[in-house]
Chain A
């Protein structure tokens, strides 16, 4: 029983010619890049879910929530998430420019997304001070800071990624893979914004409602 498919020497073999297949694809679940990105999304989504679960667990340990501080101020956080949700539109256009190999479009919308990432990070800086607590105050403050900090790491990495990709679109060399990168980068930003919504509600509204 040493039947070996690969090394069989009997010509002529039946053949499947794959030379006509494309190298650049954009379908959901189609490219390995999509699976890699989704892998990251699920891993980091799990982190957020566990952090939020920890938040509510810690809520059950004390009578007042927040225990000693005033609730977080709404202004910066609300403006920031509004910008983030609106940014889904240029993000969608960037994704579309990528999947139609539209280099000029990629440059335009990636530039806009790069600038938005700076604005979001700038506002995020002020969000920390509007939490009205320091991480070492008590467990409420610790978990609040950690959730916001964890999300900030995502803003930084996605912003950095968008900047680098945008620079590549201007300097070249350009190949089909870069357009797939634009598409996957947009997918990742969708996740950053989607994760942001429950985080915003928990950090800013849960202390008011609970």
Chain B
């Protein structure tokens, strides 16, 4: 046995292998059988295809979005008039913490990754995401983290220390009990999941691109997800570390944030915002990718200034790491610190503006097709520019110290995040829903959704600027009539009602269109990127024949001369790996088959994480099932190896 594999592997390849002549229909049958993950209850826990996991990710993220929205509605009702007692102060603390944590960690980041998981392999023209089992594992972890947090919340153990959980408030002295522990461990769950997805997406974009898609032809959403993923890799460890240090201070009496023993609570803030500011761009950059795709498609021309847009995204990625201290202006800093971080915070406006001007130029010179996705993008322009302007204001230290921790800041970051991420995301849903489900969303309901949400948004959040300037602090559960904040708060609550109505229109649209919407066809918008080069919804093997591309807008420039990829096995999950820079064919990889072990590994991880909140020994005992399930995950299965080593059927 020792010499045989050696000989075979050394003599691998070199000569083209024989191919089996077959019709397109036969080839499709083979591919369907090979890539099918199976149906039924047990298969559900073994599925690994990116469209399946991507769909689960999208649906899960929007469930958390609705939960977070409900919590926001509760807050708006509570604040609608002075001295209201709709919510108790303690419950209000839990509600605003749960709202922020849900929206940041369980919705905004996962939903961007969800669209990346679903769309990136299609846009790159390949059959699955890199590391598909890791992808499945990440979804189970994400769901378990979210469920853990909400179970704790329902049991009146929801975190109540704000979404960034500053010590000393969140430390052992001022937050006894388990509330803050659940928050910190939810971070661990979601960060492990996000880091896994980031590695998958980077690898998919670098190594699984269609032949001909050199770096300078990657669709802008691809670039955006690439930069997003790099930012995740450098930023997320910070919050995972920070929350772990907090947990250790709380559970095993370390003193990281305890000044009495040489620690410092400000260390927490530094490490948190080293993650927290890039986090904003982690959410915002993929949205910029969506905006670029939508604007090009609905202007019916290639996007203006592709290199400038890519460089602007890269610049966002770098500068985003140099701003974190502007969240800490009120803590007292050396002069040099103030100047540096003010300058950096002003500088980030430059790449953002470059992008806006490129998009305006694209729209200006295009033949505009006014459809819902584009209308949401126009809404994004209006709101995001306002949010950006208040951002520039907040970058100046005197103003920041004046409005720190007031509703002015709340207004600012909702303009940036809802304007900068949610509006493009809604646009993306109207844009890609036909690809994912095969049916069009209703334009009419879409317009209702847009206008209700747009008007409601501005009604809710614009008055908060004024409230902040008038001195209303964030996170207070009620206020006195003589503060004079009643009218503005009432307007904000009415706005929230409009937003709720908009979301209901959207849900109704999805519900009816999913069942009875007009059929979409492969490419209903006449778009240019590869996800539109296959059926809607895509088959489980994505493409009948692996595409090649000859430009940045492959579907607009495709000719009969475009070659197709041949010679891959269709009775095994063979995928073509291409080179990083020029995307020329490099080698072949047999992709993983369905497996129950990612699910069991995630269960073991969950037991370890949740157990360690209650008892330190869970770390040691929990490591045993985790090691076992991970070993089973990677242990080679004889029938899979036999399949991969066979000569097989090639087309």
Contact = CB atoms under 8 A, between A and B. Distances in A.
Nearest to A59: B262
A58 B265 CA distance: 10
A139 B258 contact: yes
Contact of B568 (A1, A18, A44): A18
Residue from A29, A168, A173 whose CB has the most chain B CB atoms within 10 Å? A173
A172 B636 CA distance: 9
B473 interface: no
Interface of B is mostly: mixed
B567 A20 contact: yes
B544 interface: yes
Contacts of B16: 17, 19-20
A31 interface: yes
Contact of B558 (A5, A9, A172, A176): A5
B185 interface: no
Interface in A92-133: 101-104
Contacts of B130: 32, 35-36
A73 interface: no
Contacts of B99: none
A139 B258 CA distance: 8
B174 interface: no
A36 B199 contact: yes
B334 interface: no
B136 to A, nearest CB: 15
Interface string A12-35: 011111111111110001111001
B634 A164 contact: yes
A43 B267 contact: no
B253 A136 contact: yes
Contact of A22 (B12, B195, B206, B263): B12
B158 interface: no
A2 B522 contact: yes
Given A32-B589, A136-B253, A43 B564 contact: no
A16 B241 contact: no
Contacts of B587: 21-25, 30-31
Interface stretch (B230-238, B350-358, B494-502): B230-238
Interface string A126-164: 000000000111111111011000000000000010001
Contact of A42 (B233, B248, B270, B544): B233
A126 B198 CA distance: 37
B248 A18 contact: no
A21 B199 CA distance: 25
A50 interface: yes
B256 A16 contact: no
A23 B10 CA distance: 11
Contacts of A18: 565-568, 576, 585, 588
Contacts of B245: 54, 146
Interface stretch (B1-9, B54-62, B382-390, B399-407): B1-9
A145 B249 CA distance: 13
Interface residues of B, number: 99
A10 B636 CA distance: 42
A40 interface: yes
A141 B255 CA distance: 8
A9 B131 CA distance: 32
B582 interface: no
Residue from A9, A24, A39, A176 whose CB has the most chain B CB atoms within 10 Å? A39
A101 B131 contact: no
A30 B589 CA distance: 11
Contact of B131 (A32, A164, A174, A176): A32
A46 interface: yes
B515 interface: no
Nearest to A104: B2
A175 B645 contact: yes
Contacts of A141: 255
A6 B547 contact: yes
Nearest to B196: A39
Contacts of A164: 631, 634-635
A179 interface: yes
B437 interface: no
Nearest to A165: B634
B393 interface: no
Interface in A32-65: 32, 35-36, 39-40, 42-44, 46-47, 50-51, 54, 57-58, 61-62
B367 interface: no
A207 to B, nearest CB: 13
A90 interface: no
Contact of A32 (B207, B521, B631): B207
A101 B562 contact: no
Contacts of A137: 255, 261
Contact of A6 (B202, B256, B544, B645): B544
15 contacts: A1-B556, A3-B558, A4-B534, A5-B533, A5-B547, A5-B564, A13-B560, A18-B565, A18-B585, A24-B9, A135-B254, A142-B248, A142-B256, A164-B631, A174-B1
3 smallest A-B Cβ distances: which pairs? A19-B567, A39-B199, A1-B526
Given A57-B264, A138-B261, A164-B634, 14 more contacts: A8-B560, A16-B565, A19-B567, A20-B15, A24-B587, A35-B203, A39-B202, A46-B237, A50-B241, A58-B262, A104-B2, A135-B252, A137-B255, A141-B255
